[in-house]
Copies of this chain bind each other. A is one copy, B any other.
Amino acid sequence: MIQLPEVIKNAVDALTKLPGVGEKTAFRMVMSMTNWKASELKVVGDSLTNLKDLKLCQDCGMFADEDKCSICADEARAFSRTLCVVENASDLMAIEKSGNFRGVYHILGGVLNPLLGVGPDELRMDELRDRIVQKEIEEVILAINPSVEGDATCSYFKTLLPETIRVERIGFGVPIGGSLEYLDPMTITKALENRKRF
């Protein structure tokens, strides 16, 4: 087998750390990059290195250019009394894309997972509780994904809040476009539980 230079091996190793990129894909990427100009390589390299400078909104924890993200900086939303708790930035963006929530968000940074050593201190729980009190939030929507850990996180979180605050969790059931035939028993069970008078 031919010995490949270190620079190629390093680039392949680095790219395999990306999600969904195996050794073959990484190799194909690097092969294509061997035809790039030094300036083009620098642009890609720097843009990835520069992700270290990513700032987080001091309120919700979302990515931000300034101290606050564009949602928390939006006057029309900043004083909303409704707060939506999400696990991460991707979940926040998914909800934002639906265009049907006009309150503020709070990114937890994950869910409680004792097996992986994620306790309340690893999540942005205290910031969340303080913010709810300070901002006089009246309604908290838990947009936490359904899983054992997610359920436990929601239960734990509810115990932190005064009873006057309304805490709700997003609805579970059959997704639009979904087919009962292919859905798992747990989703069907939830869909039956969450039935509504028609």
With an 8 A cutoff between CB atoms, is A32 at the interface? yes
Question: A11 CA to B42 CA in the complex, in Å?
Answer: 12
Contact present for B51 and A7 (CB under 8 Å): yes
**B1, B5, B18, B28: which contacts A19 (Cβ < 8 A)?**
B28
The answer to whether the Cβ of A189 comes within 8 Å of any Cβ in the partner chain is no
Q: Is the CB of B4 within 8 A of A63?
A: yes
What DSSP secondary structure best describes chain A's contact surface?
Answer: helix
By size class, the interface of chain A is 35 or more
CA distance A45 to B17 in the complex (A): 12
Q: Which residues of B are found within 8 Å of A20, using beta-carbon distances?
A: 25, 28-29
Interface string of A67-80 (1 = CB under 8 A from B): 00111000000000
Q: Does A2 touch B at the CB level, under 8 Å?
A: yes
B-chain residues with CB within 8 Å of residue A2 when the two chains form the complex: 62, 69-71, 92-93, 96
20 extra A-B contacts, CB within 8 A, seeds A2-B69, A18-B32, A45-B48: A2-B96, A3-B65, A6-B65, A8-B63, A11-B47, A14-B43, A18-B33, A19-B28, A20-B29, A31-B88, A31-B89, A31-B90, A34-B54, A38-B52, A41-B50, A44-B45, A45-B45, A45-B46, A45-B50, A46-B49
Q: What are 12 pairs between A and B in contact, CB < 8 Å? A: A2-B92, A10-B50, A13-B47, A15-B48, A18-B29, A19-B32, A20-B29, A30-B51, A33-B51, A41-B48, A42-B52, A44-B45
